[in-house]
Amino acid sequence: HSAESRSRGAFILLEGCDRTGKSTQAAKLVERLQTLGHSTKLWKFPDRTTRIGQMIDGYLAKGEDLNDHAVHLLFSANRWEAVEAMEKHLSAGTTLVVDRYAYSGVAFSAAKGLDLEWCKHPDRGLLRPDLTLFLDMPIEESMKRGGFGEERYEKLTIQTKVRELFLQLREPTWVMVDATQSIESIHKELVHQSEKAITRVRDQPLQHDLWL
């Protein structure tokens, strides 16, 4: 085998509070990495297209009520049901740009008052991101952005708690990005960090040790 055939894609995660530009940046990042010759795919949690994802969408967007612990487990199950497909892409050399993951899972549930350690448990042993880019901005700024308030959780008090929890979950390897910058400067920074990560992990095994 040549080194080429063994090389895998990178798991690049974008995290942050609501309306910080994650989805806009994720789409632009995928497009740019593809242009630069990296096989790249956009991934998104929650994935509302699966049966579990439809239950989550009912809860978030349609006002359907679910027990806080139960919905937390649904979000986690929605990641576990994707793990084989994600591994397949990564092993085949495709980089995944992932819009939200288990950090969102814990931050939003713990912001409602669930125990932080309990919240982390169901996601233990999931694939660990190779690079986490945290888009950060004051909640007062993100609230001014279009669409804020449309879904459950899009309120000042909850978002403020969520941001504090994200900062508690922050790991030394996270890259903190000032999300108040222009779309283009944020984009440049994300491309730069992503290309470094792609090169760095190319010959490393996938990491299945989130929070272990």
Nearest-CB residue to Mg ion?
Answer: 18
Helix (H) or strand (E) holding 12: strand 11-16
Nearest-CB residue to ligand NYM?
Answer: 105
Measured from the CB atom, the residue of 150 and 203 that comes closer to ligand NYM is: 150
> Among 43, 75, 166, 174, which residue interacts with ligand NYM (rule: CB under 6 A)?
75
Candidates 97-105, 142-150, 188-196, 197-205: pick the segment binding ligand NYM (CB under 6 A).
97-105
CB of 83 to Mg ion, least distance (A): 23
Binding flag, residue 15, Mg ion (CB under 5 A): no
CB of 175 to Mg ion, least distance (A): 22
Measured from the CB atom, the residue of 99 and 130 that comes closer to Mg ion is: 99
Measured from the CB atom, the residue of 9 and 21 that comes closer to Mg ion is: 21
Tokens of 29: 């990042």
Q: How far apart are CA 80 and CA 154, in angstroms?
A: 25
Residue 75 binds: one of ligand NYM, Mg ion, none (C-beta under 5 to 8 A by kind): ligand NYM
DSSP code at position 144: T
Provide the 3-class DSSP secondary structure of residue 76.
Answer: helix
Phi, then psi, of 132 in degrees rounded to 5: -115, 120
Q: How far apart are CA 140 and CA 104, in angstroms?
A: 19
Q: What angle do CA 72, 73, 75 make, to 5 degrees?
A: 65
Binding flag, residue 153, ligand NYM (CB under 6 A): yes
Binding flag, residue 108, ligand NYM (CB under 6 A): yes
Q: How far apart are CA 168 and CA 85, in angstroms?
A: 30
Q: Residue 189, Cβ neighbours under 10 Å: how many?
A: 16
Contacts of 178 (CB under 8 A, 6+ apart): 136, 137, 186
Tokens of 30: 């995928």
CB of 38 to ligand NYM, least distance (A): 24
Measured from the CB atom, the residue of 19 and 89 that comes closer to Mg ion is: 19
Q: Interface with Mg ion by CB under 5 A: which residues?
A: 18
Q: Which residues bind ligand NYM (CB under 6 A)?
A: 18, 45-46, 60, 75, 100, 104-105, 108, 151, 153
